[in-house]
Amino acid sequence: MKGGHVHRFGSGLVLASASPRRSDILDTLGIRHQIQPARIDESPLPQEPPATYAERLSRGKASAVAGLRPGEWILAGDTVVALGRRILGKPRDADEAVRMLLDLAGRTHRVLSALALVEPGGRVRSGVQVTRVTFRAFDEAFARAYAATGEPMDKAGAYGIQGKGAALVEEIAGDYSGVVGLPVPLLLRLLAEAGRPYRFPS
């Protein structure tokens, strides 16, 4: 890709994530990137608030990959679904997915999407963007039918708003891209703070 902001990152960003959804958002923005997933312990600490947990993991992932690729721009993210202070991770099986979905049915929960950006000099900038999502009321048969599609199995909170999970949602208040997994407003803020403001590719 020529022109625009892309050349300002040299070879581009290194995305410390295997999420195809995050990669797709960067592609949509025209930000060239390579993918190198981070491997860290993602266990929450005792009594750790959801926002703190999400930001800690994003910084940990970014730092882990930065250690392997010094001198490059590294971007990492983590998305947490929280019902009150309860963190809903990826379901272990279809039954757990159904339980999560029924807990969320007819209620409003928070999606906390964190990003961490490591500059070539090693400075880490991070933040968390919060979106509130309200689910429609639905019954167990509906939840089981959705779980049977397989879509919930690799997603926090057992749903993907950008896929069939859109049928679960009544309303969102906040940033849609954050629910998908890479909050664009937060990304643009971090890039601007790092002296690399986003510009549309020409």
Q: Looking at the annotation, which residues are catalytic?
A: 78
Tell me if 88 sits within 8 A of 99, measured CB to CB: no
Angle between helix axes 94-104 and 140-147 (nearest 10 degrees) is 130
Alpha helices, H only, the chain:
20-29, 50-68, 94-104, 140-147, 176-180, 184-193
- Distance, in Å, from the CA atom of 168 to the CA atom of 147, rounded to the nearest integer, reads 12
CA dihedral over 77, 78, 79, 83, signed as positive or negative: negative
DSSP 3-state of 1: coil
- Distance, in Å, from the CA atom of 99 to the CA atom of 165, rounded to the nearest integer, reads 15
CA dihedral over 79, 84, 85, 90, signed as positive or negative: negative
